[in-house]
């Protein structure tokens, strides 16, 4: 596996003081995802949990619906100029009877770490039909529990402390128990990784769970949550208009600007528990 962090020299300026010193950066490298040996896409990601990333991506694209749809995942071992292993190509073998990806999904250019939907031709093309319906999920949310989730997510980030440059996605129960967390330079990659972890444990649909992301809530992240059967998505920053539209259509609870005890709940407010009465 590639390095999660790298060290590079940097000129530090603090007021009138200057110093030269090494700095720790979050690694970003390309990873090609193949299905049955056939190239599907290339994404820029932080190395680590690559099999989770591949599995989660295939769920998001509607290629697989559960862990049983995947017969195996392996690295296609290549070598760099110095003879070291690159580990930057992952091949997914689908289970017998699972259809190969439609040719329209193939992307002939990079999916960058900031935009996982580059190359999609239209809004209709990304409104993938999900196997799981989240509108009838019985999840109930407590505002006090929601308020604690960003801090819990931050505490679980291991690489962020040394780089300050990674997004995180965490999966929680309604009681605030952390089920899984992943970090990556790309928001969508972090989400794919945390979903892929559940896929590989054959844990879909992820009913009665909350997906918490460290950045904004885009249309794509809402789509990924729906495709995994997650009924609630909470972000520390703003949602986009399309994210709110898709969440409303699907019956997903979408929360934005989740900071301290402040939050905006844009859709799915019926899942929020009534406030507890103050003690006399």
Indicate the DSSP class of residue 79.
Answer: B
End-to-end Cα, the chain, rounded Å: 58
Q: Backbone dihedral region of 112: left (phi > 0), alpha (psi from -120 to 50 degrees) or beta?
A: beta
Residue-wise DSSP of 85-137? B---EEEEEEPTTPPPPPGGG--SSEE-SS-TTTT---HHHH-PPPSS--TT-
Dihedral (Cα; 188, 126, 237, 32), 10-degree rounding: 10
Measured on CA atoms in the order 122, 123, 124, 130, is the torsion positive or negative?
positive
Question: Which is catalytic among the residues 115, 178, 242, 272?
Answer: 115
Cβ atoms of 198 and 204 within 8 Å: the answer is yes
Angle between helices 50-60 and 219-227 (to 10 degrees): 90
- The question of whether 115 is a catalytic residue gets the answer yes
Among all chains, which residue has been given the structure tokens 């990806």? 101
Residues that are catalytic: 115
């Amino acid at each position: 596996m590639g390095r999660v962090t790298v060290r590079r020299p940097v000129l530090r300026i603090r007021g009138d003081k200057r110093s030269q010193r090494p700095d720790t950066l979050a690694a970003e490298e390309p990873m090609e995802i193949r299905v049955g040996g056939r190239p599907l896409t290339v994404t820029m990601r932080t190395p680590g949990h690559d099999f989770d990333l591949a599995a989660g991506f295939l769920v998001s694209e509607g290629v697989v619906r559960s862990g049983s749809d995947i017969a195996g995942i392996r690295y296609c071992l290549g070598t760099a100029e110095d003879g070291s292993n690159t580990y930057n190509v992952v091949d997914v073998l689908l289970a017998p009877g699972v259809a190969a990806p439609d040719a329209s999904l193939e992307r002939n250019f990079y999916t960058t770490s900031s935009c996982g939907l580059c190359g999609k031709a239209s809004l209709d093309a990304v409104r993938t039909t999900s196997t799981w319906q989240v509108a009838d999920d019985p999840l109930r949310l407590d505002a006090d529990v929601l308020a604690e989730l960003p801090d819990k997510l931050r505490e679980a980030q291991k690489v962020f402390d040394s780089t300050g440059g990674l997004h995180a996605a965490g999966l929680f129960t309604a009681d605030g128990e952390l089920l899984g967390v992943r970090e990556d330079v790309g928001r969508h990659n972090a989400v794919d990784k945390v979903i892929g972890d559940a896929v590989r444990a054959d844990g879909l649909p992820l009913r009665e769970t909350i997906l918490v992301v460290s950045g904004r809530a885009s249309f794509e992240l809402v789509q990924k949550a729906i495709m995994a059967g997650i009924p609630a998505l909470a972000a520390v920053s703003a949602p986009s208009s399309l994210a709110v539209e898709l969440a409303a259509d699907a019956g997903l609870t979408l929360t934005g600007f989740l900071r301290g005890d402040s939050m905006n709940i844009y859709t799915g407010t019926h899942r929020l528990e009534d406030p507890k009465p103050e003690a006399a």
